[in-house]
Amino acid sequence: MAPSNSETWFEQYKKIWEPPFSLEEYLKCHTEDVLYDDLTIPKVFNGRDQLREFYVRVLEAIPNFASRYDRFYQQGEVIITEGALVGDQTEVYRGNPPSNRHVDVPWVQFLHFR
């Protein structure tokens, strides 16, 4: 079920992603049986443990990883957010050598509440 006050939810959710990103606070936002499907990765992560493993790898490669949330939209049980992944890649990430450069990668996220 989508949050009853999506504006309040969005403001709270954004704070989790501000530097420093709080992985444990982020994981608390998800049920144990969360399904995380990042279309840029050929794998669906099932459950909090797999989601944690994914973000641990991200944080190893981009220690100052965070997301900037710009706006959100709600349609029924779905909230769509727009923003960008930001940080500095200092280690290998998904086979890519460290660039030691700042990244600011725009994204769109679809959150389906059930």
| Residues 11-67 pLDDT 10s | 998 999 989 999 999 999 888 999 999 988 899 999 999 999 999 999 999 999 999
Higher per-residue pLDDT: 3 or 43: 43
Q: How many domains does the chain have?
A: 1
28 lies in a domain?
A: yes
1 lies in a domain?
A: no
Q: Which domain holds residue 21?
A: 6-112
User: CA 13, 61, 59: angle at the middle one, nearest 5?
Assistant: 30
User: CA 73, 114, 5: angle at the middle one, nearest 5?
Assistant: 45
21 lies in a domain?
A: yes
Percent of the chain with pLDDT over 90: 73
Q: Are 84 and 8 in contact (CB under 8 A)?
A: no
Q: What is the CATH number of the domain that holds 16?
A: 3.10.450.50
Q: In sequence order, which residues have a C-beta less than 8 Å from that of residue 86 and are 6 or more positions away? A: 65, 66, 67, 68, 102, 103, 104, 105
75 lies in a domain?
A: yes
Q: Which of 50, 60, 49, 114 is nearest to 87 (CA)?
A: 60
pLDDT of 1 over the 80 cut: no
pTM: 0.84
Give the number of other Cβ atoms within 10 Å of residue 61's Cβ: 18
